[in-house]
């Protein structure tokens, strides 16, 4: 495995592999790798000749009051994990290289980015879309692998790739959870022991919603989300941002759960903001 810090070098390497007829898989990350990231690496190794993993904590997707400075980082650890899973290259550029002086061009979405995460983090998706567009242009992958935990982000990036005619296909892979059901996230490292126990209520709330929707069928989404809000707010250490139901493709809010639908949740537990979701497949 090779670590590449130069944009020009990464591009030359990718071009060389593409000219040789090799398929490139790409896993974009902000580092502090966990089993969720590694599952994406494994999938890329299965489906491609070459796998590139990027590590870049992107400042433009953090608001001034968010956790950019405290976001967990450990590059040497990440490098070893990536090598152990067979990554061919780790792309590790600096902020100065990715955002040189006088950088002024950004990618924005007009639809899905305005709701849910976009409401609570108004500049977030602008930063995400911009950095991923840049990474795709540098790495030039055939397939990019994303995790379902960031479902809204995955939907927006898939729409960007289609709208802007990128050659890169997007594959969204299932949420990976720990033994107690907590969705894996780099931010989990910042949870205290008590916060971790409290955070398990997010998964329990989603499971409750999934069971109700799938057992009863044709459930009214507003009634369901009110029921789930009442359930989770009984746990005083959770500050809920939202619980919502959204169509898995369009992210529009259905009146009733009749088709494949996300139940999504975002909440602060202690000092850590967590998101999670589950897919509901109602009975026909």
DSSP code string of 183-215: BP-GGGGG--HHHHHHHHHHHHHHHHHHHHHHH
Q: Give the span between the Cα atoms of 173 and 49, in whole angstroms.
A: 19
Encoded tokens for 176: 């990976």
Q: Which of 150, 125, 123 is nearest to 36 (CA)?
A: 150
Report the relative pairing of strands 261-269 and 238-247 from DSSP bridges. Answer: antiparallel
Check if the beta carbon of residue 170 is closer than 8 Å to that of residue 135.
no
| C-alpha distances in Å from residue 63, one per residue of 71, 86, 120, 123, 126 | 13, 34, 10, 7, 11
Is 17 noted as a catalytic residue in this protein?
no
| C-alpha distances in Å from residue 246, one per residue of 122, 207, 263, 280, 283 | 19, 16, 7, 10, 17
Cβ within 8 Å of residue 220, ≥6 positions away = 255, 256
Q: Give the span between the Cα atoms of 246 and 82, in whole angstroms.
A: 34
Q: Which of 78, 71, 79, 85 is nearest to 40 (CA)?
A: 85
The CA dihedral of 250, 255, 261, 264, to the nearest 10 degrees, is: 90
Q: Give the span between the Cα atoms of 131 and 153, in whole angstroms.
A: 12
Q: Give the span between the Cα atoms of 143 and 203, in whole angstroms.
A: 30
Catalytic residues: 37
């Amino acid at each position: 495995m090779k670590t590449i810090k130069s944009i020009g070098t990464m591009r030359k390497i990718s071009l060389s592999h593409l000219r040789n007829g090799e398929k490139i898989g790409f896993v974009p990350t902000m580092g502090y790798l966990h089993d969720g990231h590694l599952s994406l690496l494994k999938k890329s190794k299965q489906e491609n000749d070459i796998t590139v993993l990027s590590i870049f904590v992107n400042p433009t997707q953090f608001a001034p009051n968010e956790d950019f400075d405290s976001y967990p980082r450990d590059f040497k650890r990440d490098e070893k994990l990536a090598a152990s899973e067979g990554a061919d290259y780790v792309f590790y550029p600096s902020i100065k290289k990715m955002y040189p002086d006088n950088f002024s061009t950004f990618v924005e979405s007009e639809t899905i980015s305005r709701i849910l995460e976009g409401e609570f983090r108004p500049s977030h998706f602008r930063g995400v879309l911009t950095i991923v567009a840049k990474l795709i242009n540098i790495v030039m992958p055939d397939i990019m692998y994303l995790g379902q935990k960031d479902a809204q982000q995955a939907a927006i990036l898939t729409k960007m790739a289609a709208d802007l005619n990128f050659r890169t296909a997007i594959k969204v892979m299932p949420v990976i959870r720990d033994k107690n059901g907590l969705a894996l996230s780099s931010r989990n490292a910042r949870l205290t022991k008590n916060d971790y126990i409290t955070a398990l209520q997010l998964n329990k709330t989603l499971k409750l919603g999934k069971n109700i929707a799938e057992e009863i069928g044709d459930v009214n989404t507003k009634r369901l989300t009110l029921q789930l809000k009442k359930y989770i707010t009984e746990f005083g250490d959770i500050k809920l941002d939202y619980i919502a139901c959204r169509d898995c493709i369009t992210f529009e809010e259905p009146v009733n759960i009749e088709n494949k639908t996300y139940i999504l949740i975002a909440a602060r537990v202690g000092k850590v903001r967590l998101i999670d979701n589950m897919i509901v497949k109602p009975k026909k």
